[in-house]
Amino acid sequence: MGTSPPAILPDADNAVAHFNLGTLNSGRKNYPLALQDFDAALEGNPMDALAMFDRALVKLRMGDKMGADRDFDSAIALDPRCEERRARIVQ
């Protein structure tokens, strides 16, 4: 009988894994956990505009409009293309 491979768990240095977990947890509407995941992703890569934008979406869904606005603004500062994405959501 074979053994299962070890679980692949992200660590603080694995921003991509944290981003992917944030996306997964957001899709499952587990917003508190998604927020933790995006926070960890941004700890590992603070210049990730997409992680910043997606964290803003999570904050918006959790009712934190001020926090979401700050993150949207930060995401746009990192990548101006986020402005168009924000406009589609806020309509």
Phi and psi based region of residue 63 (left: phi greater than 0; alpha: psi -120 to 50; beta: remaining): left
Higher-scoring residue by pLDDT: 9, 68: 68
Average pLDDT, the chain: 88
Q: What is the pLDDT of residue 7?
A: 44
Average pLDDT over residues 52-63: 98
Q: Give the chain's count of helices (H) and strands (E).
A: 5, 0
Contacts of 43 (CB under 8 A, 6+ apart): 12, 15, 18
Q: Mean pLDDT over residues 78-87, rounded?
A: 94
Q: What is the pLDDT of residue 89?
A: 85
Report the alpha-carbon distance of residue 87 to residue 49 in Å, rounded.
Answer: 16
Q: What confidence tier does 12 reach under pLDDT thresholds 50, 70, 90?
A: low
